[in-house]
Structures are given as structure tokens and as C-alpha cells.
């Protein structure tokens, strides 16, 4: 995996997410309780961008088009109709910069 800088820590609001591009891959970066998490930004049910159609529920992200939810820590589906996990990316904060491991 290649670790790349994707954003500055301050760019991601607490309790929400922002979409960033990592070498052409749309990645959703979340900040909850000061911790950074990252998943694919693409809904596994219908392919829409989560950053354009989402609502946060603690560690769950909901796609508001069909109301499915995933746990952003594991990518696991919590509420269907989605059946496929979200891809989860390892993150690291170094000197207020957010790095994500991408293929």
C-alpha cells in the first residue's frame, strides 16, 4: 500500500465527513471524537457519492437515497438494502496532515 497525504486535519469537521481524491480514488474522510477514519466515498448499493447523499449517526454513515448504513470503522453493512461492505482505508495523522493507505 502507498501512504499519501490526502488532507489537513482541520479540513474535516468534527462529527462529519469530507470527500477527497487519492490518486483518482474518491475517499470519504471522517472525524469522530478527534479520530480520523476513511472509506470509499461510493455507495455499494447504487454507486452514488456518499458525500453528496449522507447523514452521520455516530460511527455509521447513511446513504440518504435508500437509507442503508455502514460502520465507518469496519465497512460492515449495518442497515440494508446494501449487502456489500464499504472499503476501509488505514489512516494516520502526522503533523496535522492526514495520510491514507491506498493501492
Residue 59: Cβ within 10 Å count: 17
Q: Are 53 and 43 in contact (CB under 8 A)?
A: yes
Distance separating alpha carbons of residues 14 and 37, to the nearest angstrom: 12
Nearest CA to 46 out of 18, 81, 20, 75 is that of 81
Phi, psi of 50 (to 5 degrees): -65, -35
Domains contained in the chain, CATH given: 2-98 (2.102.10.10)
Task: Give the model's pLDDT for residue 1.
Answer: 57
Q: Which residue, chain included where needed, has cell 474535516? A: 12
Taking all residues of the chain, what is their mean pLDDT, rounded to a whole number? 95
- Taking CB atoms within 8 Å and a gap of at least 24, the contacts of 18-21 are 18/51, 19/49, 19/50, 19/51
Question: Per-residue pLDDT tens for 40-67?
Answer: 999 999 999 999 999 999 999 999 999 9
Amino acid at each position: 500500500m502507498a501512504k499519501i497525504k490526502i488532507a489537513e486535519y482541520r479540513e474535516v469537521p468534527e462529527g462529519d465527513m469530507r470527500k477527497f481524491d487519492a490518486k483518482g480514488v474518491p475517499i470519504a474522510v471522517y472525524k469522530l471524537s478527534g479520530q480520523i477514519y476513511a472509506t470509499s466515498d461510493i455507495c455499494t448499493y447504487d454507486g452514488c457519492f456518499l458525500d453528496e447523499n449522507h447523514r452521520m449517526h455516530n460511527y455509521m454513515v447513511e446513504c440518504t437515497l435508500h437509507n442503508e448504513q455502514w460502520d465507518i470503522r469496519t465497512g460492515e453493512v449495518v442497515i440494508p438494502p446494501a449487502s456489500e461492505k464499504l472499503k476501509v482505508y488505514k489512516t494516520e495523522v502526522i503533523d496535522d496532515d492526514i495520510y491514507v493507505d491506498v493501492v
